[in-house]
Amino acid sequence: MYPALRRHIETIIPLTDAEYDEFISILSVEKFRKDEFIIRQGDVVIKEYYVLEGCIQAYHSAESGARSVLQFAIEDWWISDFTAFYNETTASLNVKCIEDSVVLGLQKQHLEEFYKRVPKFERFFRIKVTRAFLSLKNRVLSGIDKSGKERYLHFCNTYPNIEKRVPNYQIASYLGIQPQSLSRIRKALQAQADSVS
């Protein structure tokens, strides 16, 4: 079941069929419609989610009403309010579907028990969280040092083809730029591509 998930794990750790079966036995398939919330700010968060199908965003709504997109997730990504998930506290993020989505939910308590039975998953999630940490660090540094264009190109590389699935203003929020700036960047890149072809 879920061959994409098995490949996703086996790029990091080798697995026997029994270990994989035990892992998927602690996951729950959940389906959400476009615009449906998986998590709302203030909810107690007990799960993280692996995306089988769809497109999802995690964003923060400030008291001023301003929205900041922190993460997108498409097929083969994990998403949650990770701070609330790990600390077993309430969410400061909304996790909401941009498209109809199918996810595998993983409860923290089930994961903790599972680590005791199959400790090699400590390595899998150590490497996954290290990559997430470095990716976030890179994003912080890019905000300091990189132009909007460079950040957009990096975004397209990180989330292949997602720019066709997500509204312009949400990508602009993720990049920390104005939607008008993103439109200008896209037009300039298109003009550049047209002049080459």
Query: From the list 34, 117, 137, 187, which residue makes contact with its own copies (rule: CB under 8 A)?
Result: 137
Q: Which residues in 40-69 contact its own copies (CB under 8 A)? A: 60, 62-63, 66, 68
DSSP 77-124: -EES-HHHHHHT-B-SSEEEESS-EEEEEEEHHHHHHHHHH-THHHHH
Residue closest to 29 by CA, chosen among 85, 106, 100: 106
Calculated CA dihedral for residues 181, 152, 143, 135, nearest 10 degrees: 160
Task: Tell me the closest approach of the beta carbon of residue 102 to its own copies, in angstroms.
Answer: 26
Closer Cβ to its own copies, 130 or 158, answer by number: 130
Identify which of residues 24 and 141 has a Cβ nearer to its own copies in the complex.
141
119 binds its own copies (CB under 8 A): yes
CB atoms within 10 A of CB 134: 10
Phi and psi of 85, rounded to 5°? -65, -50
* Residue 10 beta carbon to its own copies: minimum distance, rounded to whole angstroms: 17
Q: Is 126 in the site for its own copies (CB under 8 A)?
A: yes
103 close to 32: Cβ distance less than 8 angstroms:
yes
| 70 vs 185 by CB, closer to its own copies | 70
CB nearer to its own copies: pick between 117 and 123: 123
Under rule CB under 8 A, residue 120 binds its own copies: yes
CA–CA dist 117, 100 (Å, integer): 34
Name the site residues for its own copies (rule: CB under 8 A). 60, 62-63, 66, 68, 70, 82-83, 86-87, 92, 115, 119-120, 122-123, 125-126, 129-130, 132-134, 136-141, 144-145
